[in-house]
Amino acid sequence: MIDYLKEIYQLIQPLPCRLIWQTDGRPMSGDIGMGTTHAAVKLAQKVIAAGLPGYVQLAGGTNNHTVSKLRAASLFKLAQVDRLPVERSYNNHCQKVTLGEQPNNLPYVAGVAYGSYARVLLSPILEKLEQDYDKDVDHHQGFVANPSYRNLEDLPDLLWQAVATAHALVAQLKSVKKIPESI
């Protein structure tokens, strides 16, 4: 696999955009067991050890145990990312911008993608939104009695439940402040 990734890297050179290697351990459909994150962490270790340029982000098998596994493997760092100076870089749309720095090969994981696991956590909130919406739909006439219930943003209680849930997951990755209780 590493040889394959190195070949890909050679093919895309010169690369004007920042590079993120997403190490997809295995799709787990939101499994919350501690063992599901092992494959993702082991694959990240392998890619980091190969010294490929750019960032490594975990995916596939990530859940609430992932950060503790990364810490145990010394692959997690909260501090500022080390960078190497360069004159020019490009944004995500490959448009030239002056940044003054480009990511270095990092000896740790730079990010975690919580796909299915995040959906599992947010599903009860989204189901409540759907139930509230269905109550206001006249299924025979095809109209909505209260159209403001179509979006999560229109229901502040549900919105802030979703924000708090997402914050709890992301907070372990970042040194972020607690969400104010008044919100």
Q: List the beta bridge partners of residue 58.
A: 23, 112
Crossing angle between the packed helical segments 116-135 and 156-171, to the nearest 10 degrees: 180
Per-residue pLDDT for 173 more than 60? yes
**For residues 169-179, average pLDDT:** 71
25 vs 102: which has the higher pLDDT: 25
Q: Shortest CA distance to 44 belongs to which of 63, 26, 28, 23?
A: 23
pLDDT, averaged across the chain: 75
Give the pLDDT confidence score for residue 31 in this predicted structure.
55
Give the pLDDT confidence score for residue 151 in this predicted structure.
81
Percent with pLDDT over 70 in the chain: 64
Give the pLDDT confidence score for residue 175 in this predicted structure.
61
Distance of alpha carbon 24 from alpha carbon 57, whole angstroms: 9
Give the pLDDT confidence score for residue 143 in this predicted structure.
53
Per-residue pLDDT for 86 more than 50? no
Distance of alpha carbon 54 from alpha carbon 104, whole angstroms: 6
Q: Shortest CA distance to 47 belongs to which of 59, 36, 35, 34?
A: 59
Is-contact 28 35, C-beta < 8 A?
A: no
119 vs 182: which has the higher pLDDT: 119
- Residue pLDDT, tens place only, 45-78: 999 999 888 899 998 888 888 888 999 999 987 6
Residue type, 6: K
Is 83 strand, coil or helix? strand
Q: Which long-range contacts (CB under 8 A, 24 or more apart) does 126-135 make?
A: 126/152, 126/162, 128/158, 129/155, 129/158, 132/158
**For residues 98-116, average pLDDT:** 70
- Residue pLDDT, tens place only, 126-163: 888 888 766 655 555 555 555 555 788 888 899 999 99
Give the pLDDT confidence score for residue 159 in this predicted structure.
92
Per-residue pLDDT for 165 more than 90? yes
Q: Shortest CA distance to 109 belongs to which of 64, 78, 63?
A: 78
**pLDDT confidence tier of residue 180, bands split at 50, 70 and 90:** low
H-state helical runs in 29-135: 38-49, 66-72, 116-135
